[in-house]
Amino acid sequence: MATCEVCGNDYGMTFEVHAQGAVHVFDCFSCAIHRMAPVCEHCRVSIIGQGVEVEGQWFCGAHCAREEGKVGIVDKV
Ligand SMILES: [Zn+2]
Ligand SMILES: [Zn+2]
């Protein structure tokens, strides 16, 4: 049994996410996303997919990266 680190729910089916050497415990994916997902620097959406990292900033896609003046980013289609 473990407690979700986002909402504090004490739940039998919690799961761990190992990321960058740390271990996080969540009771559901929405809590995991809330805690783990980077936020697009342009439109503030939570980045659930791969996202785009440019110069240490995260964007949901190449469009938003370009809107923030980042050049040379192209979505792989
Ligand atoms: Zn939770
Ligand atoms: Zn965006």
pLDDT at residue 67, rounded to an integer = 93
Give me ligand 1 centre to Cα 2, in Å: 11
pLDDT at residue 77, rounded to an integer = 64
What residue ranges do the domains of the chain occupy?
A: 1-36, 38-77
Measured CA to CA, the distance from residue 73 to residue 61 in angstroms comes to: 9
Ion ligand 2: residues, Cβ under 5 Å: 40, 42-43, 60, 64
Give me ligand 1 centre to Cα 57, in Å: 26
Average pLDDT (33-56) is: 92
Contacts of 18 (CB under 8 A, 6+ apart): 24
Taking 80 as the threshold, does the pLDDT of residue 42 lie above it? yes
Measured CA to CA, the distance from residue 49 to residue 38 in angstroms comes to: 10
